[in-house]
Amino acid sequence: MKIKALSRCAPLLFFSLLFILSGCSQSTDISSTALPPGVPNLAAVNPDAYMEVDCLLPGQIRKLGTMVYASPRRPMKTTAGDCEIR
Statement: the pTM of the whole predicted model exceeds 0.85? no
Render pLDDT for 22-51 as a digit per residue (tens, 0 to 9).
Answer: 766 666 555 556 667 776 666 666 777 788
Range of the domain at 80: 51-86
DSSP, res 25: S
Residue 35 lies in a domain: no
Residue 31 lies in a domain: no
Residue 1 lies in a domain: no
Render pLDDT for 61-86 as a digit per residue (tens, 0 to 9).
Answer: 999 999 999 999 999 999 888 888 88
Residue 30 lies in a domain: no
Distance CA 21, CA 23 (A): 5
Residue 65 lies in a domain: yes
- Rounded to 5°, the CA angle 80-37-82 comes to 10
Residue 5 lies in a domain: no
Tally of domains in the chain? 1
Residue 23 lies in a domain: no
Residue 81 lies in a domain: yes
